[in-house]
Structure 1
Amino acid sequence: MEAAASWRGSVRAVVAGPTPDQAWALLGDFCSLNRWVPSVQTCRRLEGTDGFPGCVRYCAGPVNKAAAPGEAATGWSKERLLEFDPAGRRYSYEVVETNKGFGRYRATLCVEPDPAGCAVAWLFEADPVRGWTLEGFVGFLEELARGVAKRLEEEIMALQDDAPALQVL
């Protein structure tokens, strides 16, 4: 029997207003996913040093399409940082353990320039995920990226509103 083809894809969401550097200053913290991804309620470092390859984070939230009827719907994963490039405003990671139906999953999160301000992009490669179709999975990631963009806009604009005005003497 032939193995199923790998899934590959990318999603992108525009963040209106903030610069790439402003967005990266917040998203570049590997263990702060719960602040930016609406479906992640918990994100904490389990081992290693944040921002250095080998760091492992634990993420959990209410989305788990792989749960069988009667199983807890809470999904969790342990994810290892593979590459971290602050100058390029990107990092890559892989899922090392999960209850979400993933086999092999590797992704890169990056912040890119955009005429409106910046954009958040996820590129991924994975084995087919139990409980999902490729189209459904990409749709979920698109919704996730839009949620991240919205939270970044709100957070960065709030920070700018709270910043003291410069006085010219």
Structure 2
Amino acid sequence: MAKWEGKVSSTLSKASANQIWPLFIDFFNFHKWFPNMSTCYGVHGTNGEVGGTRYCAGFSLPNEDGGADQVSWSKERLVAVDHEKMTMSYEMVDCNVGFKSYLSTIKIVCGDGEGCEVEWSFDVNPLEGLTYEDLVQKYQNGLDKTTKKMEDGLVQISAYSL
């Protein structure tokens, strides 16, 4: 079966790449920014370094455990980090949402002025019960909400430091 590959992006106008990158590379604390993710913490290695593994729970993909009362969860490992190019890749090593193969890359692209663009690409096996278009839309919605929350948080911090 062919893999699903795709990329979504979100443009920020009030935050620079240098402000956004540390929020993404804080790999063990992504629940602060990602919508509906109630839990995220390190289970192995060092936060933000290759090999660091996190446990995440409470996101919008349906779980295989068969019940609405069951929380969707995953364990994800950082497999590449390039601070200079502001890119990071991670793989899903275990989950209850149906991924048998999963690799994602986040890249922060500097803008011409104050802003930046965040790109989120993925290479996954097809998920039963979802179309490719549904999955792309979930990624886009998740990235848009995440970057808005990050940008709003940074604007609030800037306002307090004035």
Please name the residue that 2:132 is paired with. Answer: 134
Mapped contact 1:12–1:122 kept (Cα < 8 A) = yes
TM-score, normalised by the number of residues in structure 2? 0.92
Pair 1:62–1:92, CA change in 2 (3 A): closer
1:46 to 43, 46, 62: 43
- Structure 1: stretches of 5+ with no match in the other structure: 165-169
Q: Distance in 2 between the 1:100 and 1:40 partners? A: 14
1:8-41 C-alpha deviation (Å, 9 max, x unpaired)? 0000011121110011122221112101111211
Q: Compute the displacement of 1:132 (Å).
A: 1.3
Please, which of 121, 124, 130 is the counterpart of residue 123 of structure 1? 121
| AA matched with 1:153 | E
**Aligned in 2, Cα 1:30/1:117: closer, same or farther, shift over 3 Å?**
same
- Corresponding position of 1:167: none
Aligned: 1:108 with 2:92: no
Question: What is the count of residue pairs matched by the alignment?
Answer: 161
Q: Post-superposition, which runs of at least 4 consecutive aligned residues in structure 1 deviate over 6 A?
A: none
Contact 1:102–1:127, Cα closer than 8 Å, also in 2? yes
What residue ranges of structure 2 are gaps of 5+ in the alignment?
A: none
Q: Which has the larger radius of gyration?
A: 1
Cα distance in 2, alignment partners of residues 28 and 70 from structure 1: 32
Q: Given the two structures, how large is their TM-score scaled by the length of structure 1?
A: 0.89
2:141 aligned to which of 140, 143, 149: 143
**2:15 aligned residue:** 18
Deviation string 1:77-131 (CA, Å, 9 cap, x unpaired) is 0001101111111110000000011110000012112346012211110111222
Mapped contact 1:10–1:121 kept (Cα < 8 A)? yes
SS of the counterpart of 2:47? Answer: coil
